[in-house]
Structure 1
């Protein structure tokens, strides 16, 4: 009987990955197993490799009594219950960069097919027609490509487009200005600035409540007449009805789509009667090289996890000394919240983060807290899922610098966390701490004003002229909209004579506040700025 560890490859994996595993372990292939066999045998294995079809739920993880590592051969880990695996000490690793080149290349392939009518001409000629004059296209040379979402894939698309002689304009506030300069790409302040100059628009955003339907009727109206649109990211990013209307009106001259709102799909409004639309069945990651890369990268991580190596793509919490974790652990949620709140106050791009830790936490290994801030800043704003392992590398790729300062003493509080976001010439600082035996997170400073308010999930913030009646106006409008205020705090600053000029009000509510309510208040006299944030 072999004394080697056992690995289960539950789904079809490239031979290169399987062969690499077999150099170190006994490997079984379970892609044809029934659910009953999987349940009965999963307890035999120290490691398992999956793709997207296998759902590693808490139940299956519990059945894997010997599991030490779960490898996901792909980018996301949404089919793995990561908290359940972490509680059982199981490493979860993926292959986050396995398909970025392939996705970027497919974007360019669709762009060229769209520009030169390649699929339509191919179908026509194979149907026995010679319609050379019918399929005249447009050059991409010296045309402008607008990139919305400038992460790993967006940057690779830009590099390749420049090889065609295209000018590239991109928008992504979560990429530092220096990164744009390094790539020779023009930085747009907002997506509208991209739309008004782009001959081609490609979108590479994650799907969040804020980005769903990003390309909608308003976006298409802001684009140049005759624009061509490419989507190789997520189907939910495009409002189908709005795209169809823009194609019907001629506003959009053509579209190339690799992704759709639901998949698989064969009945789609733009499949019939729209010769200017090029479609592919989600082929963005479907190359031999990408599949090999995913298999090899995941196999390497599994090998590292089981042989004492460094698991560079683990999505679980990084190793921190137990004595440090005892002190720092309660501050992780606070740091994530401060990062998310701070970034909501920034209007421009994120160029850098300056983190300061005071008190007991300043004497510890604060990497975990810095990563937590990065998670709060980046989550929901990148095409890949941000976790405590990949957050630093994602920030580095996007040109976001990080500096950390630690001091062993804190004024007024036992511990303090300061987060400053640098955006061009502006700096946005936010301060917080934990209070009491239950480590309740408290907000102590925002927009230059100090106060003390226990953080809750839903916040509304206002900067306004410090005159009578302002607090009452907020309360009245919230009451009219059925928004229940749980708590509130006000900070105010005075001029040299001691007279207050501006004040900041932060209120917590028992439900999210519609940003439209905030905008309506800020539009009235006396208000300077406002934000609605859900942490």
Structure 2
């Protein structure tokens, strides 16, 4: 019997479905065209969901999807998936940004060429029996100045094609470095306005966010040279369609080519349909046989690999966790989980903040996943969140008002590397820390005491006055209750002050035994827990 069930609710390539079914651990149901209420009735049976743009994955869907672990979007945009709800429910959302890169770049470039040479209008004229050579005079691309907003995969591919046509490229992207711009042979603009100023051509390749909505508006259209051409194959809403119509009518903007729209499909009275120089296509950027097959196969492997191995690639709500990352940070994840669980047991309740510090080689890794694993351990034990995982741990911490921070500074130690986790409540700080001796993980610091403890197992944590006889009393009590000691670590801060005893046991102590120990003179605190 298969371990995981995956629902494919939108059409993907047959090779993608075959890739999912290639794993004996996964059973696949292809059920497309579901109405919202139909999806709600069945989604609770599935661990994975594969969609394109038709299926709307709403908060109601997540509430009903009790077993859902991953959603794969065969495409780039995830506007149809409520990412906040996905994160709150601990569901990884992955897209396929590379599968349709060439397809979309080529389509955008085709639209720009069609716009420059009036291909659409010429075709309509010809089949109407006219021969409008003079009225359909176009413009050359050579020597023009092109503004690219967004230099990800698609923007980069567009730039290569533009340069082959002798076009000067200026690019804006908040993550584009000067070195990367130089290697791509494009002029780097610090703001969208700088990129657009004096441009003859514009192409958009940015996501739709509150910051990018109407990134092409009335004010920015005025920055363009008269007769400029604008192409949008990215997301509807990037272009202020009303402002574009007004500029076209006024004769400043030279033309518009759209593959995406604020409302899809656009209504019959869409004002730009009456524009003299415009080209429209029905969201065809990724609609090539090659792209459809590529994204189908890519999303299938992403969902399959996540369910069967835990690998995460192209996630939009958490860092990637591919095989290489797993190999580098994997050994630290179990230790981090144990440190989080241990801290939740010994730290004061209702802490204000969690601080995770890294020392040595571990500090050179991508530590975000390790920090998230600390949080999963801490939150699962401290707040009893049954669904806490790597995806939703930061959101749950924020919902609890728990601040989380990272640093590479740690307490003075003889260890070559260290993960130190502190819970902070007002002026009170409780700290635990762990390291590796060779390949063996060890907890080496608990609440101000240096110890050496395995990070897994059943434990008793005893805090007591440092005076003779207490360790013997603890051992006698455990022996009398038939609880065998597997390991023991003792530590004290100063002679005759306070000491701790951390005991690894084979069986969980009974409530009666714990009460007996707590009633023993000199014993301050007794905790029982499993890591």
TM range (shorter): 0.5 to 0.7
> Which residue in 2 is equivalent to 1:460?
none
For 1:191 and 1:62, the matched residues in 2 are separated by: 40
For 1:46 and 1:276, the matched residues in 2 are separated by: 49
- 2:410 is the counterpart of 1:408: yes
> Which residue in 2 is equivalent to 1:268?
270
5+ residue gaps, structure 2, are 322-331, 342-354, 372-389, 392-405, 413-421, 429-531
For 2:21 and 2:40, the matched residues in 1 are separated by: 23
- 2:195 is the counterpart of 1:231: no
- 2:333 is the counterpart of 1:321: yes
Q: Secondary structure at the match of 2:408?
A: strand
Contact in 1 for aligned 2:2/2:27 (Cα 8 Å): no
For 1:261 and 1:198, the matched residues in 2 are separated by: 24
Superimposed CA distance per residue, residues 462-494 of structure 1 (whole angstroms, 9 cap, x where no aligned partner): xxxxxxxxxxxxxxxxxxxxxxxxxxxxxxxxx
Cα gap change, 1:15 to 1:120, in 2 (>3 Å): same
Cα gap change, 1:326 to 1:172, in 2 (>3 Å): farther
What is the 5 A alignment of 1:73-472? 73-82=74-83, 90-266=91-267, 267-272=269-274, 274-308=275-309, 310-317=311-318, 321-324=333-336, 360-362=357-359, 367-369=366-368, 406-409=408-411, 436-437=424-425
Q: Secondary structure at the match of 1:278?
A: strand
Deviation at residue 120 of structure 1 after TM alignment:
0.4
Work out which of the two has the higher radius of gyration on C-alpha atoms and give 1 or 2. 2
Contact in 1 for aligned 2:200/2:227 (Cα 8 Å): yes
> Which residue in 2 is equivalent to 1:20?
19
For 1:211 and 1:69, the matched residues in 2 are separated by: 28
Superimposed CA distance per residue, residues 252-298 of structure 1 (whole angstroms, 9 cap, x where no aligned partner): 122212222222113211111x2212222222222222221221111
Superimposed CA distance per residue, residues 150-185 of structure 1 (whole angstroms, 9 cap, x where no aligned partner): 222221111111122212111224210011111111
For 1:76 and 1:438, the matched residues in 2 are separated by: 43
Superimposed CA distance per residue, residues 212-253 of structure 1 (whole angstroms, 9 cap, x where no aligned partner): 222222212222122122222233222233222221222112
Cα gap change, 1:232 to 1:69, in 2 (>3 Å): closer
For 2:198 and 2:84, the matched residues in 1 are separated by: 45
TM-score (norm: length of structure 2): 0.60
TM-score (norm: length of structure 1): 0.59
For 2:96 and 2:291, the matched residues in 1 are separated by: 10
For 2:356 and 2:17, the matched residues in 1 are separated by: 50
Deviation at residue 201 of structure 1 after TM alignment:
1.6
Cα gap change, 1:243 to 1:90, in 2 (>3 Å): closer
5+ residue gaps, structure 1, are 330-357, 373-387, 390-403, 411-433, 441-535
Superimposed CA distance per residue, residues 57-88 of structure 1 (whole angstroms, 9 cap, x where no aligned partner): 45434544444433222224444455655666
Q: Secondary structure at the match of 2:298?
A: helix
In angstroms, what is the RMSD of aligned CA positions? Answer: 3.7
Cα gap change, 1:3 to 1:194, in 2 (>3 Å): closer
Contact in 1 for aligned 2:356/2:407 (Cα 8 Å): no
Cα gap change, 1:21 to 1:439, in 2 (>3 Å): farther
For 1:371 and 1:177, the matched residues in 2 are separated by: 31
